Copies of this chain bind each other. A is one copy, B any other.
């Protein structure tokens, strides 16, 4: 009887710790492993999940280093599947808060099926029919809450503020720009292609957008788009962009430091030379992590769901089908291959 429950379990395995730019070949997709689709007896608090959608997020690169400096997170383990935020279906449960058939979001391994023992950050999805289930990897999940907390709380926005967003068509950036417009700000975004510039202007309602790869002189670029300076910088990239933005900030400006994707694959980070401007310009620069703000999730959901349903907020996903394509999708984040939020579909159901 037990035998029929064993199935092959396709997984994305990290081969070794990574140095420099992550490549798809740093991971391997294998079906060597099997999993028993039945919970072990006499063990409470476990969940057996079928994983549906995986979120590709820039921070994941840091977990491929042997040492994750200064982070609450630990390294991935070479030889084992990597993990990340995702959406899954409960096949079986001995946990009181979850039952068979439930849809859940939270941290799951990059594999078809998981035996979940750490259920701390799992959230049951109350799925609304007219919204794609994959949205819970992004706009309706941790990513959406990141944009919400980052903009409304960390940025302390005021109506009429001049707002600059980098990586502005990405998972978080596209939302921050739309929040800022709804709030009555003037918003400019930087992205890495013409196609993304068009997205910002025609889909997300950014006032202006530019392709940083085509700009020879960032100082001149920022002067062009912000002749009066920047009140709020929503930082997703770090490096040279941050350094240049500092010299275009207005007095009492705010910088929400959400990510620094340009730095995650570098062995030696780029130096920032303009921090003395924090003083004269009285700038507040603040890093944040969404895990400190989970208590705001239901409040956020109450706000965002109607906006999506009324078409006041749009959301673009870049869907890749199949776990075998997951390594390429993840590595593509760091060269800007994705257009919108990068999602890997393991199965639609």
Contacts and interface: CB of A to CB of B under 8 A. Distances in A.
Nearest to A248: B70
SS class, residues of chain A in contact with chain B = loop
A318 to B, nearest CB: 24
A75 B297 CA distance: 50
Contact of A272 (B272, B279, B283, B292): B272
Contact of A238 (B69, B73, B276, B288): B276
Complex copy number for this chain: 2
B287 A238 contact: no
Contacts of A288: 279, 282
A203 interface: no
A46 to B, nearest CB: 30
Given A72-B251, A247-B69, A284-B284, A279 B271 contact: no
A7 interface: no
* Interface size range on A against B: 35 or more
A269 B273 contact: yes
Contacts of A14: none
A53 B247 CA distance: 35
A260 interface: yes
A236 to B, nearest CB: 10
Contacts of A286: 278, 282-285
A105 B238 CA distance: 43
Contacts of A274: 269
Given A271-B271, A272-B272, A69 B279 contact: no
22 contacts: A69-B277, A70-B247, A70-B280, A70-B281, A238-B275, A257-B275, A257-B278, A257-B279, A259-B279, A269-B273, A269-B274, A269-B276, A272-B273, A272-B275, A278-B285, A280-B287, A282-B288, A282-B289, A283-B287, A284-B285, A284-B287, A285-B285
Interface of A: 69-73, 238, 242, 247, 251, 257-260, 263, 268-289, 292
